């Protein structure tokens, strides 16, 4: 019986999450949803809502956490596919665009509440964005051998571009998405090549400094 009750509870919890997502739109932000509306959409009594979430804010934060985790997992899987060949930028952009197409309400929530009135939401979304940047920076540093500072800056620039492009893609006609994807890939490659050029310059400068130091140390004293 305990197992059956747990499954039913999770089913109802998922129904509340889906009910909230189904009501989000360009005109309807999460902050404007009411508990009663969500409960009615999920076909449960408003009082039953509190068996699953303390309040609407907790429900919204759950949506943010689940959405961010899902996207990060997809991008990790995409980077693992590089063993079979392909461009990490193209694969990542394709995954990101697919996520937006399949999770419009979640991505809309991230965009709307990122600068919304709720401090809790702003902090939660900022944490998710930080996770994206941190994981990408680690990949660039460990796998692409980019200097740590450059990896951090490249990841920051790339994530900013991706989220900005994602906002454009939300309501873009399907016929225009292919061009947007190609433009995005080109923009990200420009960022990557800029970082690589800086790395080359950094290594050259470091090498020159090391050579000067070596010559100074080997010079006869008093010369």
Express each pLDDT in 120-168 by its tens digit.
999 999 999 999 999 999 999 998 899 999 999 999 999 999 999 999 9
Residue 10 burial by Cβ neighbours in a 10 Å radius (0-12, 13-18, 19+): exposed
Token pair, residue 187, equals 């923009």
Domain spanning 56-206: CATH 1.10.357.10: yes
Sign of CA pseudo-dihedral 113, 114, 116, 117: positive
What residue ranges of the chain are covered by domains with CATH 1.10.10.60? 1-53
What residue ranges of the chain are covered by domains with CATH 1.10.357.10? 56-206
Q: What's the confidence (pLDDT) of residue 212?
A: 40
pTM of model > 0.85? no
Looking at residue 50, the DSSP 8-state letter turns out to be G
pLDDT in tens, 62-83: 999 999 999 999 988 888 776 5
Q: What's the confidence (pLDDT) of residue 202?
A: 78
pLDDT in tens, 27-54: 888 989 999 999 999 999 999 999 999 9
State mean pLDDT over 81-103. Answer: 84
Which residues neighbour 119 within 8 Å (Cβ) at sequence distance 6 or greater?
A: none
Sign of CA pseudo-dihedral 80, 81, 85, 90: negative
Grade residue 223 by pLDDT with cuts at 50, 70 and 90.
Answer: very low
CATH superfamily of 1-53: Homeodomain-like (1.10.10.60)
């Amino acid at each position: 019986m305990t197992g059956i009750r747990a499954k039913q509870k999770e089913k109802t919890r998922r129904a509340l999450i889906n009910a909230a997502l189904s009501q989000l739109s360009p005109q309807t932000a999460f902050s404007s949803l009411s508990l009663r509306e969500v409960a009615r959409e999920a076909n449960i009594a408003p009082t039953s809502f509190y068996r699953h979430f303390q309040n609407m804010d907790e429900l919204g934060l759950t949506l943010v956490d689940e959405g961010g985790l899902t996207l990060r997992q997809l991008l990790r899987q995409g980077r693992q596919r590089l063993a079979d060949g392909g461009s990490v930028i193209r694969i990542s952009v394709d995954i990101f665009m697919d996520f937006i197409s399949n999770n419009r309400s979640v991505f809309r929530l991230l965009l709307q509440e990122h600068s919304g009135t709720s401090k809790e939401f702003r902090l939660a979304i900022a944490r998710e964005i930080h996770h994206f940047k941190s994981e990408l920076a680690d990949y660039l540093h460990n796998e692409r051998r980019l200097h740590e500072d450059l990896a951090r800056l490249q990841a920051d620039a790339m994530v900013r571009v991706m989220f900005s492009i994602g906002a454009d893609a939300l309501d873009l006609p399907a016929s225009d998405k292919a061009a947007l994807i190609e433009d995005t890939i080109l923009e990200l490659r420009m960022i990557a090549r800029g970082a690589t050029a800086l790395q080359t310059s950094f290594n050259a400068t470091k090498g020159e400094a090391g050579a000067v130091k070596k010559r100074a140390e080997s010079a006869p004293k008093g010369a």
